[in-house]
Amino acid sequence: MLNFLRNTKDEVNFQNVKNGAEIPLILAPMAGLTHVAFRQLVAELGGCSVFYTEMLNSRKVANRSIKDDIYLKKGAIDTPLVAQLVGNDPPTMVKAALLLKEQGFNGIDINMGCSKKAITRHGWGAALLSMPRLAFDLVREVRKAVSGLLSVKLRSMESHHRRKLIEFCKGLEENGADLIILHPRSPRDGFKRPAVWHEIKDVSEALDIPVVGNGDIASPEDILRMKQETGCLGVMIGRAAMVRPWIFQEAVMGRKWQGNIMDIIERAAFLYRYYLPKPAQTRRFIDFGNWITRNWTFHHYLTKGLSRLQTIAECLDFLRQGLGDGANSMVKRPFVGKL
């Protein structure tokens, strides 16, 4: 059975688990998906050790009134919550980080992993992997400005260059990062290529600060396997948490989740209406539906149907009809082997 770390309400502390039996389990940042409503759903299903926001544009955070911003909303129990910033201008990142800490976020993460053109063309995200000096400056300046957890989430180097990856991570550590989260795919690797877990091991062995592994976790068994194979301190889960938001609960309880999937979908509908601004509700709920329906064999039919609908109420009717009373019995795979 997996014993997972439960952080206190507003503190993120990985130090005390360095050699312990607990495994911190972390919800990955996913743009458009891991907003307040989804995080609240995961929290209600038993939660995880730490939540991450989707990436936040440092310029927008630093320059705009952030009071009512959808991206900055926090739920009732999605804590501790780390805000992920994307950007590369040290003063802007510092200003944004300070504002976020003031808003009560429990830690700051710097995104050095996103390989989308829209991000890298500004020199942000994974573009920082080839600008180590700037990357280290960012970490150093943000570290000087804010207390509490400062993590960096990154991916592997171009061509999976091992030495460069280790040197880069050591530089992040020397400049004040508390935690490294590695998704071991290079900027060119798509999701079709498997994550190269042994790079997580390489980095874990080379650093003194904790390393969290990320990539291709589809089941509680995978969590233990990643921990054993790589020696990582904790495990971050992305897509599998969208498909089965109860994956953290299953990992902790050591048994298959017994709930009714349609209840979860209905609860999500309530939370999406409650937390998200009206114009965003249906689009985000359809995105949620697209992921959760991967539990079913006829997922493509459901996705296509959902894409045509205009309201959450229509989506719910469609899913209720599509799944019928035996929604749970129709689940194709208790754990998606391939995401």
Binding test (CB under 6 A) with ligand FMN, winner from 58, 84, 88, 92: 84
Task: Please report how close the Cβ of residue 54 comes to ligand FMN at its closest, in angstroms.
Answer: 5
Nearest CA-CA partner of 79 in 2, 178, 6: 6
Q: Are 80 and 7 in contact (CB under 8 A)?
A: yes
Q: Measured between alpha carbons, how far is 116 from 193 in angstroms, rounded to an integer?
A: 17
Binding test (CB under 6 A) with ligand FMN, winner from 113, 184, 187, 213: 113
Residues 6 or more apart in contact with residue 207 via CB below 8 angstroms: 169, 170, 173, 180
Residue type, 142: V
Q: 45 or 323, CB closer to ligand FMN? A: 45
Q: 178 or 323, CB closer to ligand FMN? A: 178
Bond into 187 cis (ω within 30) = no
Catalytic residue among 114, 169, 232, 315: 114
Q: 235 or 252, CB closer to ligand FMN? A: 235
**Interaction between residue 28 and ligand FMN (CB under 6 A):** yes
**Interaction between residue 5 and ligand FMN (CB under 6 A):** no
Task: Please report how close the Cβ of residue 307 comes to ligand FMN at its closest, in angstroms.
Answer: 16
**Options 24-32, 60-68, 132-140, 165-173: segment touching ligand FMN (CB under 6 A):** 24-32
Q: Measured between alpha carbons, how far is 147 from 224 in angstroms, rounded to an integer?
A: 31
DSSP secondary structure string for all residues of 161-215: -HHHHHHHHHHHHHTT-SEEEEE---TT--TTSPP-THHHHHHHHH-SS-EEEES
Q: 29 or 107, CB closer to ligand FMN? A: 29
**Interaction between residue 271 and ligand FMN (CB under 6 A):** no
| Alpha helices per DSSP H over 276-336 | 278-292, 299-307, 312-323
Residues 6 or more apart in contact with residue 271 via CB below 8 angstroms: 37, 38, 40, 41, 75
Strands 25-27 and 50-57: parallel
Task: Please report how close the Cβ of residue 320 comes to ligand FMN at its closest, in angstroms.
Answer: 26
Q: Measured between alpha carbons, how far is 293 from 319 in angstroms, rounded to an integer?
A: 9
Query: Contacts with ligand FMN in 48-77 (CB under 6 A)?
Result: 54-55
114: annotated active-site residue: yes
Q: Are 84 and 112 in contact (CB under 8 A)?
A: no
Tell me if residue 111 falls in helix, strand or coil. Answer: strand
**Interaction between residue 199 and ligand FMN (CB under 6 A):** no
**Interaction between residue 217 and ligand FMN (CB under 6 A):** yes
Task: Please report how close the Cβ of residue 240 comes to ligand FMN at its closest, in angstroms.
Answer: 6
**Interaction between residue 202 and ligand FMN (CB under 6 A):** no
Task: Please report how close the Cβ of residue 174 comes to ligand FMN at its closest, in angstroms.
Answer: 22
**Options 37-45, 157-165, 208-216, 268-276: segment touching ligand FMN (CB under 6 A):** 208-216
Question: Where is 109: in which H helix or E strand?
Answer: strand 107-112
**Interaction between residue 237 and ligand FMN (CB under 6 A):** yes
Binding test (CB under 6 A) with ligand FMN, winner from 39, 74, 183, 284: 183
> Which positions lie near ligand FMN, rule CB under 6 A?
28-31, 33, 54-55, 84, 111, 113-114, 153, 183, 214-217, 237-240
Q: Which residues are catalytic?
A: 114
